[in-house]
Structure 1
């Protein structure tokens, strides 16, 4: 199927301006309709297979899969009468996308010929049949395509159809966890005078950044009438100023220093996941009001459970930009397993086709479904156990465009 220039322009305009790409992947209509019409006109035999005729010689080629993997079976007639299958030498070649050829030979069984290999999915190929009977040769060829479409590269680029090569991947399985940011123990220091007296000088103000050892107050002692200084015990910011010059200290807190260079993401882990979550486990998370992701590792798991039976896991979070605040909600993923698999595809490329989960393999400007047998998965990757060869170029982003095109083409599953 090829897009003509008018349809290309119209499709691209709608896709770019209205973001309705699904509406513009109307299959390349003339080809699709003619293909569907051709399929409707195929003569079917008594076993629901395709009838192929040459003069008074005819055969019915059917895919049989009741109780067995899909295989070809062939019934033969001459002058409308059944032939002994032992008298016919038959071969079928299936040329698949990418010029892979399945070479199938046949043996007589009961009143039919039975193919010697499985017809694996997708059932999409050029079929070439050769037969010999009583010294005469016969040959037929036809297209039997399903789940296949063509899109010119310029159009694929405009629609942002992206591909990758199937191969090994590292999977990271995670569980969700939720919590909030808290300041670590010792991050807040409440400053008071050792000896009561009058504040003769306040050296800092609310919001000031101070360094460890910097002078905060000068106090004149009520008993000795001698002055002494209160110095900052940590680096931090003045987050509360509770006294001013000329006031008495009176044993109270004078100001609060807060070290906000680090926070703790405290995450709730519930009983079903206790055994999965380990110290040192990698964690990725989002913070309420922040677009970028954060990461860290579990550094401590509280030994007690809360009233809701959750245990709290701690993750240290650096506040390099100074924009974090205590109490912010945390949405996290805790890694519980990590492993390498020999073959995987990205989840974003998966689509449903008939009863299968598929990706679209790309060969040149043609795309075709590959039915997958899937294994383990994580948030990005899915392990492939069968149905796809390593090194296959497959569609990741915007694979739904291809699915829409294939569905509108009306190509049926020929059995």
Structure 2
């Protein structure tokens, strides 16, 4: 899928606004709001956390991050008066996108707060339920706290070229990117010369003509017999040079024509440094023509024993089929040599990757909702990247136009600074 033009991006933004794309920005740290953008921010307590009030009691809830992995922290109040941590209990129940449940029980700390021992994983985007007892009173609050999340109607996503595919097992290739040149195969180039010297009476082929073996190419008048004889093509191929003209003198020392069989061509690839130690014959090669991006698959046949004098590179050679004549000797190419293919438990396309804050991320879709997922990356090749953590098998990952999801989340203010 080709990237859509700027006008398409503008159209998407307008469509998203019309269909009610939304997400909620945190009030403090990771504490989200339960209203849409522009609504009044939640009340904050003395420690900068969200202040939850009910029946004359209050719980101030925050996510502590300074010097510790993100963990829930709370303070208890009766009215405006602080209470000791032992005066109650707090439990935070989270429901993440896809109905994934997560519980955090907070325990009293020496500093007078309550803190969970469990870490709140990224993204901090969920529906929150807080259950507390304060001085014997049972209290409950619920609110959404979203970040890195947006809603895009299915028809808008389809129109914008947004596609998803499930994260799953795959193969990561150990690949080397190299450059090279197409050359005729040795033994498939022939020079056509006169058997006897004499005037050239006719020429029947021009540069670029395809000729067959034993096809007549020229008529020469022999200086010895004064009779005409025919010069024929020794091989089938393409005339690559003509060094004669009618009325000129042919001699055995000067080629009249050069013919090359270009139905196959060598690809001479230049490999530098230590890469040459890892590349062996028999591995697959993808050759790409630099001029227009056309590709052809082949196999590496040999690594030449010498070193190219000018570049001090090792030359690896493959052969490509050129029966259609579209590849030409002297053409510069690049190639991807696949040395090894290793299975990976979880991979996604490279096109799924984006950055969000200081994370490497992908975007996961559940229904019409899209949400950021920070991921730990492993090995990658030219098409895929291994995911070490942050995704589960089967997660529906945006594989095309992922930058549009990022743009919409950033536009709607669904991110915050840590």
TM-score range, shorter chain: 0.7 to 0.9
Q: Partners of 2:157 and 2:143 in 1: how far apart?
A: 28
Deviations 1:93-120 (A, max 9, x none): 1011111110222322222222242100
What TM-score do the two structures reach when normalised by structure 2? 0.84
Q: Do the aligned residues in 2 keep the contact of 1:63 with 1:73 (CA within 8 Å)? A: yes
Q: Do the aligned residues in 1 keep the contact of 2:348 with 2:385 (CA within 8 Å)? A: yes
Matches within 5 A, 1:228-307: 232-242=233-243, 249-251=250-252, 252-302=254-304, 303-307=306-310
Matched, 1:311 2:306: no
Q: 1:381 aligns with which of 375, 379, 384?
A: 384
Matches within 5 A, 1:121-132: 121-132=122-133
Cα–Cα, structure 1 residues 90 and 260, in superposed 2: closer, same or farther, change >3 Å?
A: same
Matched, 1:50 2:50: yes
**What is the DSSP-based 3-state SS (H/G/I as helix, E as strand, rest coil) of the residue aligned with 1:143?**
strand
Cα–Cα, structure 1 residues 221 and 79, in superposed 2: closer, same or farther, change >3 Å?
A: closer
Task: Indicate the residue corresponding to 2:151 in structure 1.
Answer: 150
Q: Partners of 1:326 and 1:414 in 2: how far apart?
A: 56
**What is the DSSP-based 3-state SS (H/G/I as helix, E as strand, rest coil) of the residue aligned with 1:390?**
coil
Q: Do the aligned residues in 1 keep the contact of 2:347 with 2:384 (CA within 8 Å)? A: yes
Cα–Cα, structure 1 residues 41 and 254, in superposed 2: closer, same or farther, change >3 Å?
A: closer
Task: Indicate the residue corresponding to 2:338 in structure 1.
Answer: 335
Shift of 1:226: 9.7
Could you list the runs of 5+ residues in structure 2 that have no partner in the other structure? 25-34
Q: Partners of 1:114 and 1:223 in 2: how far apart?
A: 110
Q: Partners of 2:45 and 2:360 in 1: how far apart?
A: 31
Q: Partners of 1:342 and 1:31 in 2: how far apart?
A: 34
Cα–Cα, structure 1 residues 60 and 209, in superposed 2: closer, same or farther, change >3 Å?
A: same
Q: Do the aligned residues in 2 keep the contact of 1:27 with 1:409 (CA within 8 Å)? A: no
Q: Partners of 1:30 and 1:209 in 2: how far apart?
A: 63
Cα–Cα, structure 1 residues 272 and 412, in superposed 2: closer, same or farther, change >3 Å?
A: same
**What is the DSSP-based 3-state SS (H/G/I as helix, E as strand, rest coil) of the residue aligned with 1:253?**
coil
Task: Indicate the residue corresponding to 1:85 in structure 2.
Answer: 85
Task: Indicate the residue corresponding to 1:185 in structure 2.
Answer: 186
How many residues matched? 400
Q: Partners of 1:19 and 1:45 in 2: how far apart?
A: 41
Matches within 5 A, 1:185-204: 185-194=186-195, 196=196
Q: Do the aligned residues in 1 keep the contact of 2:21 with 2:152 (CA within 8 Å)? A: no
Task: Indicate the residue corresponding to 1:162 in structure 2.
Answer: 163
Shift of 1:202: 6.9
Q: Do the aligned residues in 1 keep the contact of 2:15 with 2:156 (CA within 8 Å)? A: no
Q: Partners of 2:367 and 2:12 in 1: how far apart?
A: 22
Q: Partners of 2:123 and 2:164 in 1: how far apart?
A: 20
Q: Do the aligned residues in 2 keep the contact of 1:75 with 1:112 (CA within 8 Å)? A: yes
Q: Partners of 2:139 and 2:247 in 1: how far apart?
A: 113
**What is the DSSP-based 3-state SS (H/G/I as helix, E as strand, rest coil) of the residue aligned with 1:403?**
helix
Task: Indicate the residue corresponding to 2:32 in structure 1.
Answer: none
Q: 1:409 aligns with which of 405, 409, 412?
A: 412
Could you list the runs of 5+ residues in structure 1 that have no partner in the other structure? 1-13
Cα–Cα, structure 1 residues 208 and 16, in superposed 2: closer, same or farther, change >3 Å?
A: closer
Cα–Cα, structure 1 residues 367 and 243, in superposed 2: closer, same or farther, change >3 Å?
A: closer
Q: Partners of 1:337 and 1:307 in 2: how far apart?
A: 30
Task: Indicate the residue corresponding to 1:65 in structure 2.
Answer: 65
